[in-house]
């Protein structure tokens, strides 16, 4: 039955369905317990719980302020696992121009959610894979902590609340993303 | 706590079904070659904004008696948002994912993203360590 449900969904889920549903998480979390949608706080909670090391930034009652978010993270993991298990194996239909651009970067396998040529355990041993996965991940964690939020906290919740700080953050997100796309990716290929 | 788990499940399923977590989609977005990602973020913001307005007007309070709603963030000199945001953006383009998607990808077919997630935790830790020396 779950199979039938996921099979009937259009792939990808159109933006005008996915977007509003994702956006609804902001008011729903407020109603659930006055919680602010912001996934990157989980990174801080993990540090506070596992390796606080006397650092002020991690010296707080993480169970009280971040416990709910860890549960949300567990839910995210489960929901993604469920959807991936029941959704047909994806072939992401990106635009022809993107395919051409990526081919110029040496990517020719477009199966799956992320290029296997870069995102696999064996690729981790090479420069491109290591930089994309480990360095990339590090920058995501460092940047989100410094900016006080990621796309969920700033681009969605923050902009929805008309916070100027979030607009600055989103400008930063795009500045960094564009620079990396146009200057860094070609170097890595 | 069940409610947060269920909302998280919805989030994770949506991320997979809408392909938001696909590195290919993120590249498409940064190259402005499709509307999909912008449509998702844009409509999410609009719905979130409307929802927050509705919630604010409801006669509800949280467990401590405060009105419902996000707390305002002070801009300060803006450096942390621009600098932190840019650093995040580079990582976003490299991995094709933000923190939530990293978890969803690890669960949904790209297990090597566990390494990216651990690295992200390390990044947050290093930020915490360097924080007193960084401009805010």
Residue A45 touches chain B, beta carbons under 8 Å: no
Interface of B with A in 50-69 (CB under 8 A): 51-52, 54-55, 60, 62-63, 66, 68-69
Residue A88 pLDDT > 70, yes or no?
A: no
**pLDDT digit string, tens, across residues A104-140:** 999 999 999 999 999 999 999 999 999 999 999 999 9
pLDDT at A189: 83
Contact at 8 Å (CB) between B37 and B117?
Answer: no
* Distance between CA atoms of residues B85 and B107, nearest Å: 26
B56, A35 in Cβ contact below 8 A?
no
The tens digit of pLDDT for each residue in A154-176 reads 999 999 999 999 999 999 999 99
- Output the pLDDT for position A89: 64
Query: How confident is the model at residue A82, as a pLDDT?
Result: 94
**Would you call A172 and B120 a contact, using CB atoms and an 8 Å cutoff?**
no
What number is the average pLDDT over the span A170-187?
97
Q: How far does B57 lie from chain A, in Å, by closest CA?
A: 12
pLDDT for B123: 98
Who's near A108: CB < 8 A, 6+ residues apart?
A117
- The answer, for B79 touching chain A at a CB cutoff of 8 Å, is no
User: What's the whole-number average pLDDT of chain A?
Assistant: 93
pTM of the model: 0.94
Give the minimum alpha-carbon distance from B106 to chain A in angstroms, rounded to a whole number.
Answer: 8
pLDDT, block means (10 residues), chain B with 136 residues: 96 94 96 96 96 89 73 83 97 96 95 97 97 93
CB-based contact, A113 to chain B, within 8 Å = yes
pLDDT score of A115: 95
Inter-chain residue contact A135 with B94, CB threshold 8 Å: yes
Out of B17, B47, B120, whose CB is closest to A83?
B17
Question: Would you say residue A6 has pLDDT above 80?
Answer: no
Q: Least CB-CB distance to B51: which of A24, A135, A159?
A: A24
For residue A4, pLDDT beyond 80:
no
Query: Residue A182's pLDDT is what?
Result: 96
C-alpha span between A138 and A142 (Å, rounded): 6
pLDDT surpasses 90 at A17 = yes
Q: To probe the interface with A, which of B124, B133, B134 has the most A CB atoms within 10 Å? A: B124
> Is the Cβ–Cβ distance between B86 and A176 less than 8 Å?
yes
Q: Is A138 close to B91, i.e. CB distance below 8 A?
A: yes
Number of neighbouring beta carbons within 10 Å of residue A26:
30
Name residues whose C-beta falls within 8 Å of residue B1's C-beta, 6 or more positions apart in sequence. A67, A68, A71
């Amino acid at each position: 039955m779950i199979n039938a449900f996921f099979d009937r969904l259009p792939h990808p889920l159109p933006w005008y369905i996915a977007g509003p549903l994702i956006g609804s998480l902001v008011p729903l979390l407020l109603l659930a317990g006055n919680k602010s949608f912001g996934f990157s706080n989980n990174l801080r909670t993990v540090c506070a719980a596992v390796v606080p090391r006397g650092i002020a930034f991690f010296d707080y009652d993480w169970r009280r302020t971040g416990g709910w978010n860890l549960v949300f993270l567990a839910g995210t993991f489960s929901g993604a696992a469920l959807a991936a298990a029941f959704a047909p194996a994806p072939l992401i239909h990106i635009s022809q121009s993107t395919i051409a651009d990526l081919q110029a970067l040496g990517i020719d396998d477009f199966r799956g959610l992320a290029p296997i040529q870069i995102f696999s355990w064996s690729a981790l041993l090479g420069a491109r894979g290591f930089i994309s996965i480990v360095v990339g991940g590090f920058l995501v964690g460092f940047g989100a902590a410094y900016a006080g939020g990621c796309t969920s906290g700033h681009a969605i919740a923050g902009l929805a609340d008309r916070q100027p700080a979030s607009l600055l953050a989103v400008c930063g997100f795009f500045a960094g993303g564009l620079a990396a796309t146009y200057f860094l990716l070609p170097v890595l290929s | 706590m069940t409610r947060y788990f269920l909302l998280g499940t919805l989030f994770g399923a949506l991320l997979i079904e809408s392909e938001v977590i696909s590195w290919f989609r993120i590249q498409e977005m940064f190259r402005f070659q499709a509307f999909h990602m912008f449509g998702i973020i844009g409509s999410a913001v609009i719905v979130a904004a409307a929802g927050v307005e509705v919630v604010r007007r409801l006669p509800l309070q949280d467990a401590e008696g405060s009105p419902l709603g996000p707390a305002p963030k002070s801009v300060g000199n803006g450096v942390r948002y621009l600098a932190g945001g840019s650093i995040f953006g580079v990582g976003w383009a490299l991995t094709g994912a933000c923190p939530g998607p990293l978890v969803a990808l690890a669960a949904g077919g790209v297990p090597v993203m566990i390494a990216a997630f651990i690295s992200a935790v390390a990044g947050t830790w290093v930020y915490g360590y360097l924080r007193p020396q960084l401009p805010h």
